[in-house]
Structure 1
């Protein structure tokens, strides 16, 4: 079976996502380490990715942790600074696939409001043929149901899908469904994988 669509994760594949780096720059590494050790920011972020309100979730956690109140509020007030910049070479590959007539989908863990912010800053995020955002469906990778939703909606499954993501657990979930996969560690590796799967020529994959 030939590949009929390419599925992209967004964070750390098409745009940078680096909360730790942001906080290191703003409050210093020692303060950031203490914050991340004492406050479960990741759990809060997952709840936002599953559809909880963005500002309300962040501000409530800030109020619950007054020692770090201002720092936690940055997660909402300066979110785009954590999700910057774009990864231009990955965007080039996405557009090369589209130019070749290959459908491109997004399958990404994102909040409702944060995805809207990201689309405003990165218009290429509106160029997908189909977009599957976790908060819209209240399910997130690596939940198999999220992958099944994409299959049902697109009518494609198994080896007809090629998926790239930066997290091994998300890649493993796709492999379990028979998808072709690539663990993203930079656009150069993705370009080679797309060529190897005959999705782009070497000339089309130049980044």
Structure 2
């Protein structure tokens, strides 16, 4: 394939020796609506809650390392009438990760079985990641993981990719990153990695075959 025909998210010409998986929406499902459909049955009210109270940006700070007590206190001070619903986010978090993406998990486990070097790099709160590992034991199988909440760095910032490389002794150009977020894919490429945008297991198999990983 000529360079002009290469997918935009794929650098050219360096053999892949390290495969790095994201976790949420690649290996396991994540949807905060699952418990809140029960807690806030009205869709418009529920959407307003996530838009103005337990927002994506608020939750991202837990992925960056902020503790849940501090996070809850901050919101309850601003929204005292929503205190129970705010505390329900962490209390019911296990429902949000309702199932694994078995086709993707099978790909990861097959790569490990073949002797490939597989690690994981994820935006995840430290405590919920430990809980996820108990729910989904396959998360303990790869060589290791960089968890954003444990090191205070977060994708797509360059520093977390560099930290992962340093921690596991990787060569950036030989790394292939798999993530469902285009921003995180772009962040990996900016850090000198190869990367593919995950949209499903079938496309992932095609990407890995094209790159001579499978």
**Is the CA contact 2:76–2:83 (under 8 Å) kept in the aligned structure 1?**
yes
**Is the CA contact 1:107–1:133 (under 8 Å) kept in the aligned structure 2?**
yes
- In structure 1, the residue matched to 2:108 is 94
Q: Secondary structure at the match of 2:59?
A: helix
Instruction: Provide the aligned C-alpha RMSD in A.
Output: 1.7
Q: Secondary structure at the match of 1:75?
A: helix
Q: Pairwise mapping of residues 49-198 of structure 1 onto structure 2 (< 5 A)?
A: 49-58=63-72, 60-62=74-76, 64-198=78-212
Residue 196 of structure 1, CA deviation: 1.3
Asked if residue 16 in structure 1 is aligned to residue 21 in structure 2, the reply is no
Give ranges in structure 2 of 5+ residues lacking alignment: 1-13
Q: Secondary structure at the match of 2:149?
A: helix
Q: Secondary structure at the match of 2:163?
A: helix
| Regions of 4+ moved over 3 Å | none
**Is the CA contact 2:19–2:116 (under 8 Å) kept in the aligned structure 1?**
yes
Q: Secondary structure at the match of 1:52?
A: coil
Residue 40 of structure 1, CA deviation: 4.7
Distance 1:69 1:10 in 2: 30
Q: Deviations over 1:88-123 (max 9, x none)?
A: 111101100001100111100111110011011010
Q: Secondary structure at the match of 2:120?
A: strand
- Counting matched residue pairs gives 200
Distance 1:3 1:106 in 2: 15
